[in-house]
């Protein structure tokens, strides 16, 4: 696989993870040791303020460390190879915006931008929970549902820059209790509308005769531990939906390991029952795929973004739209 020389031999690499609820920055040295980590809330629905927040985090980090660094950014979407604008972002204020150009102009440096799920799985595949495996599928279960594929430590990026976007496949093997809802992408029944944090909350409301609640996904899992009938039903439904969705990926990719990231990955009760339930759906007599929690937790995505600023970066990370295997 060809490598692209990006920013020479600068000794500090900055990574920014632009999430739905928070923006995080990390500064790493040439040995990938953490020099600084900070975060701030993501301005909701405001592109201009999002730019301001990213630039402020970068300037503050460089002032505190008294040096400048390379910069990589993970976003909940990707850069269109056709237009150079953001597409497929669940933070819809980014869609159609020249994010890369705007930030490069304001920060006066070249910037590499990749999908946040790609950054996450790259970090875990290089020196995290999946470091010992060659065929890795990483998923994000948070504000949205994303995914990325790493083979032999390289992200696979297809001509449409959508490799691993399982969240916008339809939920497989629908049951009567699955409430099909519209997705921001314009379709209905996307996996993201079931397995994201907001999706789980809406599914809970449907089970609750569509009575709106203020419970988030973490609240529902906690409530289920008290024996609450509806919460328990919601959790069991979520586990089954997650197992069905992952089985459809395993049937195609057959990864050695699936790494969970995002806010819902912090719920330890998910792992054993999902692994057990997979056996009901995959096209195999046994389930040998490992299901593991991200080693670097919420920081995995931002670490992967910092990897984008290394002196040598596989061109598959750059969302150029060219197929790499």
Query: Considering only 93-107, 208-222, 282-296, which range has the smallest mean pLDDT?
Result: 208-222
Residue percentage of the chain with pLDDT more than 90: 74
Tell me the domain boundaries of the chain: 3-118+299-317, 131-294
Which residue would you say has higher pLDDT here, 293 or 211? 293
Read off the DSSP letter of residue 50. H
Band the pLDDT of 10: cuts 50, 70, 90.
low
Q: Mean pLDDT of all residues in the chain?
A: 89
pLDDT of residue 310: 67
User: In Å, how far are 22, 86, 222 from 231, measured between CA atoms?
Assistant: 27, 37, 8
Q: What is the mean pLDDT of residues 32-57?
A: 95
Long-range contacts of 282-288 (CB under 8 A, 24+ apart): 282/247, 282/250, 282/251, 283/251
Work out the pLDDT band at 324, boundaries 50, 70, 90.
very low
Mean pLDDT of 166-187: 95
CATH class of this structure's domain 3-118+299-317: alpha beta
pLDDT over 90 at 107, yes or no: yes
Window from 151-165, 180-194, 201-215, 255-269 with minimum mean pLDDT: 201-215
- Bridge partners, 14 (sequence order): 27, 71
CATH code matching the domain that covers 131-294, chosen among 1.10.540.10, 1.10.10.10, 3.40.50.2300, 3.30.420.40: 3.30.420.40
Contacts of 31 (CB under 8 A, 6+ apart): none
Task: Report the distance separating Cα 166 and Cα 147, nearest Å.
Answer: 6
Residue-wise pLDDT for 213-229, tens only, equals: 789 999 999 999 999 99
**What is the reported pLDDT for 311?**
44
- Confidence grade of residue 146 (pLDDT, cut at 50, 70, 90): very high
**Do 131-294 and 3-118+299-317 have the same topology in CATH?**
yes
């Amino acid at each position: 696989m060809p490598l692209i020389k990006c920013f020479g031999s600068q000794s500090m690499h900055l990574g920014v993870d632009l999430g739905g609820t928070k923006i995080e920055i990390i500064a790493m040295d040439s040995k990938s040791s953490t020099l600084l980590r900070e975060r701030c809330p993501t301005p909701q629905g405001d592109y201009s303020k999002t730019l301001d927040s990213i630039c402020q985090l970068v300037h503050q980090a460089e002032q505190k460390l008294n040096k400048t660094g390379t910069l990589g950014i993970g976003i909940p979407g990707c850069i269109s190879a056709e237009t150079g604008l953001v597409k497929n972002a669940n933070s819809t204020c980014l869609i159609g915006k020249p994010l890369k150009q705007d930030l490069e102009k304001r920060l006066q440096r070249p910037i590499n931008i990749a999908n946040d799920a790609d950054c996450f799985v790259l970090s875990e595949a290089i020196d995290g929970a999946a470091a010992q495996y060659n065929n890795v599928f990483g998923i994000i279960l948070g504000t949205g549902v994303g995914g990325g594929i790493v083979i032999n430590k390289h992200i696979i990026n297809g001509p449409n820059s959508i490799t691993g976007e399982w969240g916008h496949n339809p939920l497989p093997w629908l049951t009567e209790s699955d409430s099909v809802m519209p997705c921001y992408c314009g379709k209905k029944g996307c996996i993201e509308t079931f397995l994201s944090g907001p999706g789980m909350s809406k599914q809970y409301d449907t089970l609750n005769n569509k009575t709106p609640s203020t419970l988030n996904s973490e609240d529902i899992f906690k409530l289920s531990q008290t024996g609450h009938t509806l919460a328990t039903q919601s959790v069991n439904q979520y586990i089954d939906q997650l197992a069905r969705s992952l089985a459809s990926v395993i049937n195609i990719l057959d990864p050695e390991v699936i790494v969970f990231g995002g806010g819902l990955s912090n719920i330890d009760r998910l792992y054993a029952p999902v692994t057990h339930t997979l056996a009901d759906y995959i096209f195999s007599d046994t389930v040998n795929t490992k299901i593991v929690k991200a080693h670097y937790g919420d920081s995995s995505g931002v670490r992967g973004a910092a990897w984008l600023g290394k002196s040598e970066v596989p061109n598959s990370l750059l969302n150029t739209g060219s197929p790499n295997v």
